[in-house]
Amino acid sequence: MDTVTSLLDSIADVGRDPGRGGYTRPVYSAAERDLRAWFTEQAGRRGLAVETDRNGILWAWWGEPQRGALVTGSHLDSVPGGGAFDGPLGVASALVAVDLLKARGVQPNRSLAVTVFPEEEGSRFGVACLGSRLLTGAIDADRARNLKDDDGNSLADVARINGLDPQHLGRDEDALGRIGDFVELHVEQGRGLGEDGPAVAVGSSILGHGRWKLSICGQGNHAGTTLMEDRRDPMVAAAQVVLAVKQVAAQTKDARATVGRLQPVPGGTNVIASRVDLWLDVRHPQDEVTAQLVEAIHGKAQKIAAFEGCQATLAEESFSGTVHFDAALQRQVQNALPGAPVLPTGAGHDAGVLAGFVPSAMVFVKNPTGISHSPEEHVEDADADAGAGALADVLEALL
Ligand code: GLV
Ligand code: MN
Ligand code: MN
Ligand code: MN
């Protein structure tokens, strides 16, 4: 029988990024398509019938597709230079859990589907959990169709190339109705289980989080001929904004704010940029505090930009309020995993988007490094096995 580790080993070469380290598997890239093909093959080997819905979500069915099914799964796309576990651990564990349930002779009272959601990380089109947002209608379909990747390709075009009808992207009542309960297993992404803690935990909540694009416009010019006092350099403003982001967040308990991506335009060594785009990721347990943090950062950015002869504008790209998972389902998951600690997470997940529409729950597997969105993310083989076993226990209790 496959183990989670043997399954992950079988995709260990897909989407490796020697430059950044780790994996770069953007949605609908060659690497992510290879992973989808791998999933389809693995599901087929288990006798699960795979279908792709109109938003590009893969569903592998044990039993007939039906309303109110039990659904588990995660994603196969990654951040740039990500680890091996964020996403694939949940998918591989779901496949192994199906094997375990069959080996246990479990006779399900309802169908079970294993799902793979596209663009969970939002690394290509900027909006995290895009697949689950489309499925639920949490994002406007027109807006989604017009999202662009860094090469200017729209989601509509990329969807079409990948066999989807762009006009059919968006809320899918039939597919959504098939989710009676959703359970996502995921690598723990902080120090929630420490180095010596138990292998698995039950999720309680997801920190509210969002993304904003801040554009600082100045005057593009020549690095050699433009005197320092004549410059309107948005990069100089951007540097101060990054410091202000840290300062604002550091002054607010439980706040996290990050500038992980910054793009000077046009981006030449001997060119004073005409514009710098930077992306803000802001998170806090109270949604009104998140809004205040963003407002404070925006205010500081405008002042900094004005001082440098530039202009700053801010646009929201996505926001998800703090989510508390369904109490009844969480209790059932806890009952199936006696003694497992209950943990909140600061990371976003499709389970968080789905929680607004259907009962959803999460199981976390220990990450001894406490590091994620990095090649250093790690799960020990024994903990991965324990995770799949725990997921099987949860699914068996719910089937
Ligand atoms: C996704 O992993 C996120 O939390 O940003
Ligand atoms: Mn992630
Ligand atoms: Mn993830
Ligand atoms: Mn995530």
The reply to whether ligand 1 has any atom less than 6 angstroms from the CB of 128 is yes
Q: Is the pLDDT of residue 386 over 90?
A: yes
Does the pTM surpass 0.90? The reply is yes
Fold (topology level) of 4-207+322-398? Aminopeptidase (3.40.630)
Alpha carbon of 125 to those of 23, 41, 104: distances in Å? 18, 27, 42
| Sign of the CA dihedral with 258 first, then 159, 182, and 202 last | negative
The whole-number pLDDT of residue 194 equals: 87
Mutate which of 362, 371, 373 to test ligand 1's pocket (most atoms within 8 Å of Cβ)? 373
| Angle formed at CA 253 by CA 323 and CA 329, multiple of 5 degrees | 20
DSSP annotation string for 50-61? EEE-TTS-EEEE
Domain boundaries, the chain: 4-207+322-398, 209-320
Question: Is-contact 330 205, C-beta < 8 A?
Answer: no
Measured by CA distance, the residue closest to atom 1 of ligand 1 is 348
For residue 397, name the pLDDT band (cuts at 50, 70, 90).
very high
- Mean pLDDT within 307-322: 97
Residue that the structure tokens 């039939």 belong to: 174
pLDDT tens for each residue of 149-164? 999 999 999 999 999 9
For residue 328, name the pLDDT band (cuts at 50, 70, 90).
very high
pLDDT tens for each residue of 184-222? 999 999 999 988 899 999 999 999 999 999 999 999 999
Task: Give the ligand whose atoms come closest to the C-alpha of residue 279.
Answer: 1
The chain-wide mean pLDDT, for the chain, equals 98
CA 78 to ligand 2 center in whole angstroms: 7
- Relative to the CA of 346, which ligand 1 atom is closest? 4
Interatomic CA distance for residues 160 and 169, integer angstroms: 10
Residue that the structure tokens 């609908």 belong to: 28
How many Cα atoms within 13 Å fall on the side-chain side of residue 268?
10
CA 125 to ligand 3 center in whole angstroms: 16
Instruction: Centre a 10 Å sphere on the Cβ of residue 115 and count the other Cβ atoms it contains.
Output: 28
The class that CATH gives domain 209-320 is alpha beta
The reply to whether ligand 1 has any atom less than 6 angstroms from the CB of 35 is no
Q: Is the pLDDT of residue 293 over 90?
A: yes
- Relative to the CA of 348, which ligand 1 atom is closest? 4
DSSP-based helix, strand, coil % in the chain, nearest 5 = 35, 25, 40
Residues with CB under 5 A from ligand 3 (ion): 86-87
Q: Is the pLDDT of residue 183 over 90?
A: yes
Interatomic CA distance for residues 285 and 126, integer angstroms: 22
The reply to whether ligand 1 has any atom less than 6 angstroms from the CB of 348 is yes
Residues with CB under 5 A from ligand 4 (ion): 347-349
Confirm whether the ipTM is greater than 0.95: no
Question: E-strand spans in the chain?
Answer: 49-52, 58-62, 69-75, 112-117, 179-187, 200-206, 208-217, 221-222, 256-265, 271-272, 275-284, 311-320, 323-324, 342-345, 360-365
Beta bridge partners, 320, equal: 209
Task: Give the ligand whose atoms come closest to the C-alpha of residue 82.
Answer: 2
Interatomic CA distance for residues 395 and 177, integer angstroms: 19
| Closest of 271, 273, 264 to residue 224, by C-alpha | 271
| Closest of 337, 121, 308, 343 to residue 217, by C-alpha | 308
pLDDT tens for each residue of 84-123? 999 999 999 999 999 999 999 999 999 999 999 999 999 9
The reply to whether ligand 1 has any atom less than 6 angstroms from the CB of 353 is no
How many Cα atoms within 13 Å fall on the side-chain side of residue 81?
8
- Relative to the CA of 129, which ligand 1 atom is closest? 1
CA 121 to ligand 1 center in whole angstroms: 6
